[in-house]
C-alpha cells in the first residue's frame, strides 16, 4: 500500500468518524430538546407533578368551563334538530377555540370521573385521527356538520357521559373542602 493511498484511507476513516459523531450529537440534542419541550408544554408532566392545581382554581375554571360546555351542548343539539350545522358554525368555532385552550387543564381531573365508551374514541379517530373521550369528542371536529355526519347515533349518550363527568367532578370539589 502506497503512502498516498494509506493517507487517503486514513482521511476517509477520520471523515466517517466525524460524520458519525455529528449524527450522534444531533440525535442526542433532538431527544433532549424533545423531552424538555414535552415537559414544559404539559402542565401535568412527571416533573410538574409536585406543582398542584389549587382546588379553588379548579372550582373557578370548572364553573366557567361548565357554562361554556352547556352553550356548546345546546348549540350541537340545535344543529342536530335543524339537521344542518351551517347556521351554527360561527358560534361553534368560537366555543371550539375556547374549549381547545381550556380542556387540557381540566382533562386529567375530568377523565377520572368520566365513563369511557369506545364510540367516543372511534369518533375522534374518524374526525381528527386521534382517540378522544366523550367531552373532547364534542369539540374535536372542525365543523358542526362533521359532528352530525360522523355521529352514528351516539351524540345523546356522549352528552350524557360528559355532563355526568362534570357533575361528579363538581361534587368531588365540593367535598374536598
Q: Each residue of 96-136: pLDDT tens digit?
A: 999 999 999 999 999 999 999 999 999 999 999 999 999 99
| The predicted structure's pLDDT at residue 76 | 95
- What rounded mean pLDDT belongs to the chain? 84
The answer on 85 and 61 residing in a single domain is yes
Averaged pLDDT for residues 136-160: 93
Question: Within this chain, do residues 149 and 62 fall inside the same structural domain, yes or no?
Answer: yes
Q: Give the DSSP H/E element, type plus range, for residue 76.
A: helix 55-82
Residue 42 clears pLDDT 70, i.e. is over it: no
pLDDT computed for residue 7 by the predictor: 79
Domain encompassing residue 9:
3-47
Pair (40, 61) in one structural domain: no
My answer on whether 93 and 142 are in the same domain is yes
Burial, 104: exposed, middle or buried (Cβ in 10 Å; 0-12, 13-18, 19+)? middle
For the entire predicted model, the pTM comes to: 0.69
67 shares a domain with 11 = no
Q: Average pLDDT, stretch 80-96?
A: 94
Given a contact cutoff of 8 angstroms between Cβ atoms, the answer to whether 85 and 144 are in contact is yes
Lookup result for grid cell 361548565: 66
For residue 135, the SS3 value is coil
Amino acid at each position: 500500500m502506497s503512502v498516498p493511498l494509506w493517507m487517503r484511507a486514513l482521511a476517509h476513516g477520520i471523515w466517517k468518524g466525524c460524520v458519525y459523531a455529528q449524527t450522534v450529537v444531533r440525535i442526542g440534542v433532538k431527544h433532549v430538546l424533545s423531552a424538555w419541550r414535552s415537559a414544559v408544554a404539559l402542565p401535568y408532566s412527571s416533573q410538574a407533578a409536585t406543582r398542584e392545581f389549587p382546588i379553588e382554581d379548579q372550582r373557578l375554571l370548572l364553573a366557567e368551563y361548565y357554562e361554556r360546555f352547556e352553550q356548546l351542548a345546546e348549540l350541537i343539539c340545535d344543529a342536530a334538530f335543524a339537521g344542518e350545522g351551517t347556521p351554527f358554525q360561527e358560534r361553534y368555532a368560537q366555543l371550539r377555540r375556547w374549549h381547545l385552550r381550556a380542556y387540557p387543564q381540566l382533562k386529567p381531573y375530568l377523565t377520572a370521573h368520566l365513563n369511557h365508551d369506545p364510540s367516543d374514541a372511534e369518533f375522534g379517530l374518524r374526525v381528527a385521527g386521534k382517540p378522544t373521550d366523550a367531552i373532547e369528542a364534542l369539540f374535536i371536529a372542525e365543523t358542526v356538520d362533521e359532528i352530525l355526519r360522523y355521529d352514528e347515533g351516539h351524540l345523546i349518550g356522549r352528552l350524557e357521559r360528559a355532563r355526568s363527568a362534570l357533575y361528579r367532578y363538581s361534587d368531588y370539589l365540593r367535598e374536598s373542602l
